Structure 1
Amino acid sequence: MSSLELRGITVRYGRFTAVDDVGLLVPEGTVTGLVGGSGSGKSTLARAVVGLAPVRSGRVLVDGSDVTRGRSPVQLVFQNPYASLDPRMTVGASVAEALSGGAAGRRSPGRERRAARDAEVGRCLELVGLDPSRAVLTPDALSGGQRQRVALARALAARPAVLIADEITSALDVSVQGAVLNLLRRLQRELGFAMLFVSHDLAVVRHLCDRVAVMDGGRLVECGPAERVLAHPEHPVTRELISCVPGLALAEEAS
């Protein structure tokens, strides 16, 4: 198991500071929910961890090792499953690409190597509740929930030390959101990876996360155990977010 630590992460686009000196620890084997309003910087921070946003300063550490500018053992599952999968690639090819480290997967392997690759792709698909026979399909043959499961299988194929899930159910029908979230929590417990779960939905965060970190205006304004933060919020932004979720608001008033 591994931990993720962010030290003084700052992301700037020209003169605009999207993330300002954020420090955050995601302990090994736990789930930290990263919440905040629209434009708070939470998704930008998630992208910065995997090198998809310009880090002006700061460091990303996994188990104490600096991975800011090297190959990261962190995988990101994106919000929109319709955009995150290449429509020209089969499900199996998408998952296999993560196994083989990108372009190397396009080289023709020998028969034994191909069989081993196909077996591992099948294992990853079964992990996320998909029949391995779907490996021959392209994303247009799948539902939104199935596509997001493929995206998750692709991330897990890389055997990440840390997983980041960025609003992964917000583009899905309500009827399948719960199933995907339950799958994610089960996999996190079984495989033991640390996870940063980015969301605007505090009800989901309460169900899924051990810790909660709150962002506003690019800065981290509150962080702590989920039970404490959601029951006894200290920052006005946290209280405002909680007030938008009736069940949480009532629980806070009762406490």
Structure 2
Amino acid sequence: MSSLELRGITVRYGRFTAVENADLLVPEGTVTGLVGGSGSGKSSLGKAVVGLAPVHSGRVLIAGSEAGRRARRSPVQLVFQNPYASLDPRMTIGASVAEALPRETGPRTAPGRRAPARARRAARDAEVARYLELVGIDPARAVLTPEALSGGQRQRVALARALAARPDVLIADEITSALDVSVQGAVLNLLRRLQRELGFAMLFISHNLAVVRYLSDQVAVMDGGHLVECGPTERVLERPEHPTTRNLISCVPTLALAEEAS
């Protein structure tokens, strides 16, 4: 298990500053919910962690080390919001998951010797089946392409693909907002169970405070590219200190009532 630490992250798109001097720690084995209104910079901050946003300054540390200098290939994985765009429509779901597996996946051999190709393929197929089962997808469906799956099933495959890379940290960016309400709960329950079983640190990005409360150990609030509040979930949502947090809570009736009761 590893922690994620952001130090002074600034993200700029040309002259526009999306995130300015953000500091955030996601302790190992925990979930931090990152919330904010549209355009607050929360998705840009998440993408900066995996190198998909232009970082003007700052550092991303995994377990105290620069993310780009670690020996492991993929210390951080991002699960995107749209399950219809995150998987290659030309690849089977099994091939998509297999592509993310570390190269050393396969049977152990004596130093300097390589296992036969058939044994390597069998080992990778077994790993693909394991990760599909982990997210509730029948391994027999590995031969299908994404178009044969529902949105919820595609998001499960996207999650399996991210976990197959064996990341230290998972970034989940609004991963249920594009799904039908009927399947959102199932995907969230799955994510919560996997995080607890596998113990990875997770930055969960969402505009939905009710979901963030369900999943998160701590909450960070963004407004106008700045992190304006951060703390344990119950404290932030029941005794918010910043006007932006109070405004977000007021938009969720159950949370607003909880605040008034406290």
Please report the TM-score for the alignment, with normalisation by the length of structure 2: 0.93
Contact 2:10 2:20 in 1 (8 A): yes
Pair 1:26 & 2:26 matched: yes
Q: How does 1:1-255 map to 2 (within 5 A)?
A: 1-68=1-68, 71-100=73-102, 110-255=117-262
Q: Does the Cα contact within 8 Å between 2:31 and 2:217 map onto a contact in 1?
A: yes
Q: Distance in 1 between matches of 2:69 and 2:250?
A: 39
Runs of 4+ in structure 1 displaced over 2 angstroms? 68-72
Contact 2:74-2:166 at 8 Å conserved across structures? no
Q: Give the root-mean-square deviation of aligned CA atoms.
A: 1.1
Task: Tell me if structure 2 keeps the 8 A contact 1:85–1:139.
Answer: yes
Q: Distance in 2 between matches of 1:75 and 1:14?
A: 26
| Aligned residue type for 1:76 | L
Q: Aligned partners of 2:54, 2:230: CA distance in 1, in Å? A: 24
| C-alpha distance in structure 1 between counterparts of 2:68 and 2:249, whole Å | 33
SS at match of 2:84: helix
Offset at 1:82?
Answer: 0.2
Q: 2:74, 2:165 within 8 Å by CA — same for their partners in 1?
A: no
Percent identity, aligned pairs only? 85
| Unaligned 5+ runs, structure 2 | 104-115
Q: Matched residue of 2:257: which SS?
A: helix
Deviation at 1:161, TM superposition (A): 0.3
**Which residue identity lines up with residue 121 of structure 1 in the other structure?**
V
Instruction: Determine if contact 1:41/1:218 at 8 Å carries over to the other structure.
Output: yes
Q: 1:172 & 1:127 partners in 2: Cα distance? A: 20
Kept in 2: contact 1:49–1:68 (CA 8 A): no
Structure 1 position 67, deviation (Å): 1.2
* Alignment TM-score, normalising by the size of structure 1: 0.95
Aligned residue pairs total 248
AA in 2 matched with 1:146: Q
Gap regions ≥5 residues in structure 1:
102-108
